[in-house]
């Protein structure tokens, strides 16, 4: 993954003296800030998106998750469509695509028949 954050050298009490933010929120914020700095420094495929911003606005883009976890085409499409169903404007159609890809996995990978 291109964005990694090593906070091992920071003790938990150092991250926010007022403790108004949790350790997890602090880590997410640090990762987001690092990603923004990196995105500003270089133009790469992860910093641009064709037709919308529904993936770029994710804390972890679907492609980063898919590649990082070595998902195949069918699994990757499930991640893609479930991630965008609320933001791209295709709502129920995206959920139907998730179901379709899950059915394909059941049939092609596990030899099971389509869900009723």
| Number of domains the chain is built from | 2
Residues 56, 101, single domain; the answer is: yes
Q: The pTM is what?
A: 0.57
Q: Burial of 103 by CB count in 10 Å (0-12 exposed, 13-18 middle, 19+ buried)? A: middle
Q: Give the pLDDT confidence of 48-97 residue by residue, as tens digits.
A: 666 666 666 778 888 888 999 999 999 999 999 999 888 877 789 999 99
Residues 4, 38, single domain; the answer is: yes
Task: Give 24-63 as a DSSP string.
Answer: HHHHHHHHHHHHHHHHHH---GGG--SS-STTTTSSS-HH
Which structure tokens are listed for 106? 């059941």
For residue 41, name the pLDDT band (cuts at 50, 70, 90).
low
Residues 23, 76, single domain; the answer is: no
Residues 33, 4, single domain; the answer is: yes
> What is the span of the domain harbouring residue 94?
51-116
Asked if the model's pLDDT at residue 4 lies above 90, the reply is no
Residues 57, 105, single domain; the answer is: yes
């Amino acid at each position: 993954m291109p964005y990694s954050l090593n906070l091992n050298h920071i003790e938990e009490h150092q991250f926010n003296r007022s403790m108004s933010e949790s350790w997890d929120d602090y880590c997410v914020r640090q990762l987001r800030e690092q990603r923004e700095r990196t995105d500003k420094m270089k133009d790469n495929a992860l910093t641009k998106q064709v037709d919308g911003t529904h993936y770029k606005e994710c804390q972890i883009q679907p492609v980063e998750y898919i590649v990082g976890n070595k998902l195949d085409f069918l699994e990757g499409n499930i991640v893609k469509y479930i991630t965008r169903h609320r933001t791209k404007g295709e709502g129920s159609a995206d959920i139907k695509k998730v179901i379709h890809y899950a059915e394909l996995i059941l049939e092609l990978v596990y030899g099971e028949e389509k869900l009723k």
